[in-house]
Structure 1
Amino acid sequence: MSTPARPGNRHHKRPRGEGQWALGYREPLNKNEENKKNDDGLNVRQRIIDIYSKGGFDSIDPADLRGRMRWYGLYTQRKPGIDGGKTAILEPEELDDRYFMLRIRIDGGQLSLHQLRVIADISNEFGRGTADITDRQNVQLHWVEVESVPEIWRRLEEVGLSTTEACGDTPRVILGCPLAGVDVDEVIDGTAQVAEIYEKFIGDKAFSNLPRKFKSAVSGCPAHCTVHEINDVAFVGVVNEAGEPGFDAWVGGGLSTNPMIGKRLGVFVRPDQVADVYGGVVGIFRDYGYRRLRHRARIKFLMNDWGPERFRDVLQKEYLGYELPDGPAPEQPRGGRRDHVGVHPQRDGNFYVGFAPKVGRVDGDTLHRIADIAERHGSDRVRTTVEQKMVILDIAPDQVDSVVAELEAADLHVNPSTFRRQTMACTGIEYCKLAIVETKATATTLIHELENRLPDFKDPLTINVNGCPNSCARIQVADIGLKGQLVVNERGEQVEGFQIHLGGSLGATPGFGRKVRGLKATAEELPDYVERVVTNFSKQKNDGETFAAWVQRADESDLK
């Protein structure tokens, strides 16, 4: 005789498992998880060398082509001529070109001139001269053929560079301050910690099957240039009550379609403990991270559900085996912009010179020219930044004027306008299969228009241009964030345009941009719109008021 259902429990269902390995859910719950279980992404390297580079594009297994090849920084790029309206409609094989984007990871943004020249040569020989500095300090090349990949790897690895886990569900590039070890006001130099994390964890199969990508940063920068608030894990330089420098740990930041600010664990991490804590956090993500739904498979969702107290407890008891002491929060970021553009003193009496390529777009010849300029002025070290900019270190005082003049002559501005200095753009529809609109050229046009129309505007103002909702260009934390979408113009035609987010910020008052109902602009209207809203800000701002603060109090009519 069956037991009658209890009142109210008739429709009760057991909660669905989230695919958390630590709770026994080891069977794949979606195609991505199945592919990773079938074969570790790191195993694709040998097939690329032995099979695909010899057999060509048509010899590539589809599960490798659109999955595992990402573990070595390779994505198929978008076939030319496919408009943004078809991005979400076509099958992957219809969007795929027979060429690849190749992402070179530059941990800590650190490059020697020899390494920079190798990248420049690879760009010119194998990538039709393309090169983009990304907002995660990497360099991306395009038009790469699979036949060339083993030779590209050989050249990169000869000089200590790699594409290993530059993409995929892996621990990706570790951000670091480009001025690590030289900044006059630095709290702590994180260079050794970046190197130790790389050596211990990158390419290790114990950490090569994560629920999704894992982004990290280690920095003692007083300007907080590595945007620790929106990384999966970040270590921020602090000084404890005993006067010892170390790190404050943040976990669970991220943007995309569900943005969240990271949370402090409230611990003080000694320099020699950073790699352990990093390993513990990435281990928690591997074991407890949600694997059922891809859009919920970032560590920010786990942190949001657990909270920092439980996360810290699990970290200490299950992964570290020791307790971390309580620690202080970071100081507020140094005033002004969080980048490193311009001429500034180093602690050794030399100077660093930061300069601004337009929206990160460079090419092989430009990279060679940067190396030549640096070498002529006595430097062997260049750096990439998280703002798509670059820095030359170690310039003697009597060489500063000359290096600035040569960079400016190469259209690499050391004293750029606000618009050139603080406009970023993702890859966009030119190469990206996820994009809906063009970004790099649109942003470049916008910079030129604003420089001509508002030559006296000097306030800090970030303009971040994204080709889709995924926020590679960090639109939610920009003063003006532009999310690409198709919009209808005044003639009733569907054209490229942007949803506009206003007043996002990090630092002292972190928050995501304000969305004003119906606030969109076509790409063609963009210069007029930005000129109008920036002019309104200039007229109405109080002394010292930031654009983000003004947006919060501005009348909606002044934002449209």
Structure 2
Amino acid sequence: MYRYDQHDHQIIKERIAQFRDQVSRRLSNELSEDEFRILRLQNGLYMQRHAYMLRVAVPYGMLSSNQVRKFAHIARKYDRGYGHFTTRQNIQYNWINLEDTPDILEELASVEMHAIQTSGNCMRNITSDEFAGVAADEVIDPRAYAEILRQWTTFHPEFAYLPRKFKIAINGAKEDRAAIAVHDIGLTVVHNEAGEVGFKVMVGGGMGRTPILGSVIRDFLPWKHVMTYLEAILRIYNQYGRRDNIYKARIKILVKAIGAEDFARQVEEEWQDIKDGPATLTEAELKRVASYFTTPDYESLPAQDAAYEQHLQDNKSFANWVKRNVKPHKVAGYSAVVLSLKKPGVPPGDASSEQLDFIANLADQYSFGELRVTHEQNLVLADVKVADLFNVWQEAKAHGLATPNIGLLTDMICCPGGDFCALANAKSIPIALDITDRFNDLDYLHDIGDIELNMSGCINACGHHHVGNIGILGVDKDGSEFYQVSIGGAQGNSSAIGKIIGPSFAAGQMPEVIDRIIQVYVRDRLENERFIDTAQRLGIAPFKEFVYATPIRTNEHHGEDAGTAVSY
């Protein structure tokens, strides 16, 4: 994985010194909160309901074991013993004291990490496929390009104050696991007819108040022009994006207003002036950066392992875990393992300091000391020998990290919601815990099969509810917390925006609502038909009819402090 050079170290060192002075001036009231706000946001520091939240960047989701150990240390020393992994492959700490933040940033810098550009109207963390480099369906490893874009976007002076935040995702596999269709810019690595490497470019995707799938504005962009072409896109956005209305400031609104075809034309015109300029990517630079992403020292192993096959036959629990949590690898004898952060009773995406230390040790022992963060708020050991899978399962199970639910209903995406976020209209964590309690039968979950349930506490859609097969959105209804439900959303190669089924529900009704939706699916599905296929075949009508057919009793849900009392 990428290691900082002297420029990275110098930039981060100077930024920490600068922010230490800014914090000191805020604590002494030389800076007002209004004056300090823009400064702290540039360093990933948010003010939430109860304390400051620090969001740490994890570029394209890659971590070393030492970095994970540092996360554990920060959680113990400066927070309440845990961290929260997000849908942008970052980690957040929800209980930070302002005076500690410069020290935390120094701790992060010691393992080549920072919190820069994890907030504000700038280019955010570059995200990618969590299985990049090992995926069996990979076309080209996108990590070198992701790192080049990370360097290019960091402190880019022309784009430090965009109309609104800006998010870029890059995918290098046949299956889109980077959710490129709902990003401001989505890049897919492709080959043209001559076999040359380039990118398909999508622009104007996003969720929030106005969910829109991105539009393809170029089917093939030669790889060497990736920065100049993206610069042209950002220049058009910076010039014409709205700054008078925060709700209409994202690039998706601009693309929708003028049309994708006209937007593409303007980008092409702007690009002609810079396409062969200094930002043109050279083969030498691409090779230099790619050299950091070295192939691990894989052993020559047989594709089958007799002991592993015997464990599958003898142990149903292990077999269920393999079915859901183990993914194919491009190298024979290896697999990728997803460590579930969705154990019943734990807020989705949370990991305790003890778990983080354990995960770091697990990576050192079984996966070349590296880990990945997924968009679904789980963690990945990308290079595990098939012969080691049984041991990994046993150890992960002992630490609450082997729930065999990846891709199932309880593997839900969930933002921190009203327990923490000052923007949220409603709590998310208690609802997630109640739904998990309702569907705690693993045999039933496995029978239901693949379902993506995504939940957001407000319209900002940090939980990606618009593209959940089942989406839940927290809304304010006359000062009370209610939840709007949508069906039919999807991410990946067949991305779709879900449709709202009807009026919103009280918190205590939500487990029954989800149960009724699942009953319709089980009743009406065809043989081997996934939930999303049934939902898109039938539309929302049968689900709506059954959900609203009879009154739904309101049950008591988890207490007001569900987001703070964490049980690991």
Fold-level similarity (TM above 0.5): yes
Give yes or no for the alignment of 1:476 onto 2:459: no
Q: Deviations over 1:317-367 (max 9, x none)?
A: 22353789xxxxxxxxxxxxxxx9622232233221112202212122221
Secondary structure of the residue aligned to 2:199 is strand
Give the Cα separation in 2 of the matches to 1:377 and 1:187: 26
Q: 1:276 to 1:157 in 2, by over 3 A?
A: farther
Residue 243 of structure 1 deviates from its aligned partner by: 2.5
User: Does the Cα contact within 8 Å between 1:252 and 1:261 map onto a contact in 2?
Assistant: yes
Gaps of 5+ in 1: 1-42, 80-98, 325-339, 489-493
Map of 1:237 onto structure 2: 189
Q: Deviations over 1:122-151 (max 9, x none)?
A: 121111223111011010011111211111
Give yes or no for the alignment of 1:252 onto 2:204: yes
Q: 1:297 to 1:44 in 2, by over 3 A?
A: farther
Map of 1:183 onto structure 2: 135
User: Does the Cα contact within 8 Å between 1:177 and 1:220 map onto a contact in 2?
Assistant: yes
Map of 1:303 onto structure 2: 255
Gaps of 5+ in 2: 1-13, 277-322, 343-347, 549-568
The residue correspondences of 1:146-295 to structure 2 (distance < 5 A) are: 146-295=98-247
Map of 2:404 onto structure 1: 415
Residue 448 of structure 1 deviates from its aligned partner by: 2.5
The residue correspondences of 1:2-81 to structure 2 (distance < 5 A) are: 48-53=19-24, 56=27, 60-79=31-50
Q: 1:487 to 1:318 in 2, by over 3 A?
A: closer
Map of 2:508 onto structure 1: 524
Residue 551 of structure 1 deviates from its aligned partner by: 4.8
Map of 2:10 onto structure 1: none
User: Does the Cα contact within 8 Å between 1:75 and 1:101 map onto a contact in 2?
Assistant: yes
The residue correspondences of 1:407-556 to structure 2 (distance < 5 A) are: 407-413=396-402, 415-416=404-405, 418-419=407-408, 422-452=411-441, 454-486=444-476, 495-507=480-492, 509-518=494-503, 520-543=504-527, 544=529, 546-552=533-539, 554-555=541-542, 556=544
Map of 1:39 onto structure 2: none
Give the Cα separation in 1 of the matches to 2:473 and 2:440: 22
Map of 2:546 onto structure 1: 558
User: Does the Cα contact within 8 Å between 1:68 and 1:168 map onto a contact in 2?
Assistant: no
Give yes or no for the alignment of 1:101 onto 2:91: no
Residue 53 of structure 1 deviates from its aligned partner by: 3.8
Give the Cα separation in 1 of the matches to 2:472 and 2:167: 23
Output the amino acid matched with 1:48. Answer: F
Q: 1:323 to 1:210 in 2, by over 3 A?
A: closer
Residue 187 of structure 1 deviates from its aligned partner by: 1.5
Give the Cα separation in 1 of the matches to 2:189 and 2:325: 23
Q: Deviations over 1:208-234 (max 9, x none)?
A: 110000011011133211111100001
Match of 2:331 among 348, 351, 372: 348
User: Does the Cα contact within 8 Å between 1:116 and 1:367 map onto a contact in 2?
Assistant: yes
User: Does the Cα contact within 8 Å between 1:356 and 1:390 map onto a contact in 2?
Assistant: yes
Output the amino acid matched with 2:491. Answer: L
Secondary structure of the residue aligned to 1:48 is helix
Give the Cα separation in 1 of the matches to 2:205 and 2:73: 36
User: Does the Cα contact within 8 Å between 1:463 and 1:478 map onto a contact in 2?
Assistant: yes
Give yes or no for the alignment of 1:391 onto 2:374: no
User: Does the Cα contact within 8 Å between 2:409 and 2:453 map onto a contact in 1?
Assistant: no
Q: Deviations over 1:167-198 (max 9, x none)?
A: 00010011111111111210111111111111
Give the Cα separation in 1 of the matches to 2:131 and 2:226: 19
Give the Cα separation in 2 of the matches to 1:188 and 1:422: 28
User: Does the Cα contact within 8 Å between 1:504 and 1:548 map onto a contact in 2?
Assistant: no
Give the Cα separation in 2 of the matches to 1:65 and 1:160: 25
55-64 or 549-558, larger mean C-alpha shift: 55-64
User: Does the Cα contact within 8 Å between 2:184 and 2:204 map onto a contact in 1?
Assistant: yes
Map of 2:314 onto structure 1: none
User: Does the Cα contact within 8 Å between 1:212 and 1:298 map onto a contact in 2?
Assistant: yes
Map of 1:27 onto structure 2: none
User: Does the Cα contact within 8 Å between 1:100 and 1:145 map onto a contact in 2?
Assistant: yes
RMSD: 2.5
Give the Cα separation in 1 of the matches to 2:42 and 2:526: 49
User: Does the Cα contact within 8 Å between 2:472 and 2:485 map onto a contact in 1?
Assistant: yes
User: Does the Cα contact within 8 Å between 2:410 and 2:439 map onto a contact in 1?
Assistant: no
Give the Cα separation in 2 of the matches to 1:510 and 1:345: 23
Secondary structure of the residue aligned to 2:126 is strand
Map of 1:29 onto structure 2: none
Output the amino acid matched with 1:71. Answer: Q
Give the Cα separation in 2 of the matches to 1:201 and 1:215: 11
Q: 1:390 to 1:378 in 2, by over 3 A?
A: closer
Output the amino acid matched with 1:113. Answer: S
369-378 or 110-119, larger mean C-alpha shift: 369-378
Residue 420 of structure 1 deviates from its aligned partner by: 5.4
Residue 482 of structure 1 deviates from its aligned partner by: 1.0
Secondary structure of the residue aligned to 2:455 is strand
Output the amino acid matched with 2:359. Answer: I
Q: How many residues align?
A: 479
Secondary structure of the residue aligned to 1:429 is helix
Give the Cα separation in 1 of the matches to 2:187 and 2:260: 15
Q: 1:320 to 1:372 in 2, by over 3 A?
A: farther
User: Does the Cα contact within 8 Å between 1:187 and 1:245 map onto a contact in 2?
Assistant: no
User: Does the Cα contact within 8 Å between 1:170 and 1:209 map onto a contact in 2?
Assistant: yes
Secondary structure of the residue aligned to 1:282 is helix
Q: 1:206 to 1:221 in 2, by over 3 A?
A: same
Residue 164 of structure 1 deviates from its aligned partner by: 0.6
Give yes or no for the alignment of 1:121 onto 2:73: yes
Output the amino acid matched with 1:160. Answer: E
Q: Deviations over 1:39-86 (max 9, x none)?
A: xxxx9965531142476385542224433321111101103xxxxxxx
Give the Cα separation in 2 of the matches to 1:469 and 1:344: 33
